[in-house]
């Protein structure tokens, strides 16, 4: 019997380390943008929140792919929930926002054009609206109350989407120029 040992080449090891570092930086950016730039909604009876954490999530998913988008978004925002009094929301956020990052990255990884960026961001918005509607329905045991969070979620994703669409092309060019992306 012959056993084959898989050894990492310096190039593949370096690429893996670079990927981990980029994902970690994106995760921190999602957390910071969620924590530092947020507004509680006065019209949401459950204390809804608008924040800019979706901006680095979308940028990370578009520039570095679905894996980075999923990890950075899901874990970054779930950490915010855990550290800021929204603890009950953390498991839902991990799944919902992780799915948003996965889908944005999956849609845009092979098609780096404005129409696909827009499609990806609309899909992310749908995931957020539906995901948090059901999360609230579970948490509050009510199918009506979650409707009050929809406007805030639309504003939150809409603002991040507009900013993303404005800045993504120059960011993509800069990332490609620096060699941070494959």
Q: Domains along the chain?
A: 12-178 (1.10.1760.20)
Question: Average pLDDT of 22-50?
Answer: 83
Bridge partners, residue 38, by sequence: 51
Question: Average pLDDT of 114-123?
Answer: 98
Among 38-47, 61-70, 145-154, where is mean pLDDT lowest? 38-47
Residue for token pair 């520039």: 63
Instruction: Say if residues 90 and 135 touch (Cβ distance below 8 Å).
Output: no
Question: Average pLDDT of 114-134?
Answer: 98
Distance of CA 9 to the CA centre of its chain: 31
In 3-state terms, the chain is what percent helix, strand and coil (to 5)? 75, 5, 20
The full length of the chain comes to 182
Bridge partners, residue 40, by sequence: 49
| pLDDT of residue 4 exceeding 60 | no
* Band (44; pLDDT cuts 50, 70, 90): low
Question: Average pLDDT of 118-132?
Answer: 98
pTM: 0.89
């Amino acid at each position: 019997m012959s056993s084959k040992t898989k050894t990492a080449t310096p190039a593949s090891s370096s690429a893996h380390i670079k990927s981990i570092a980029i994902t970690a930086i994106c995760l921190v950016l999602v957390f910071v943008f969620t924590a530092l730039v947020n507004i509680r909604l006065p019209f949401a009876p459950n204390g809804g929140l608008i924040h800019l954490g979706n901006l680095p999530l979308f940028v990370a998913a578009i520039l570095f792919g679905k894996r980075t988008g999923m990890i950075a978004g899901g874990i970054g925002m779930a950490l915010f929930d855990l550290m800021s009094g929204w603890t009950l929301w953390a498991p839902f956020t991990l799944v919902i926002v992780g799915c948003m990052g996965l889908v944005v990255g999956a849609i845009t990884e092979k098609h780096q054009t404005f129409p696909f960026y827009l499609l990806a961001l609309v899909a992310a918005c749908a995931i957020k609206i539906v995901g948090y509607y059901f999360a609230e329905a579970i948490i509050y045991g009510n199918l009506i109350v979650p409707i009050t969070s929809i406007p805030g979620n639309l504003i939150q994703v809409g603002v991040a989407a507009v900013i993303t669409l404005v800045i993504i092309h120059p960011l993509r060019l800069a990332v490609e120029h620096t060699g941070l992306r494959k």
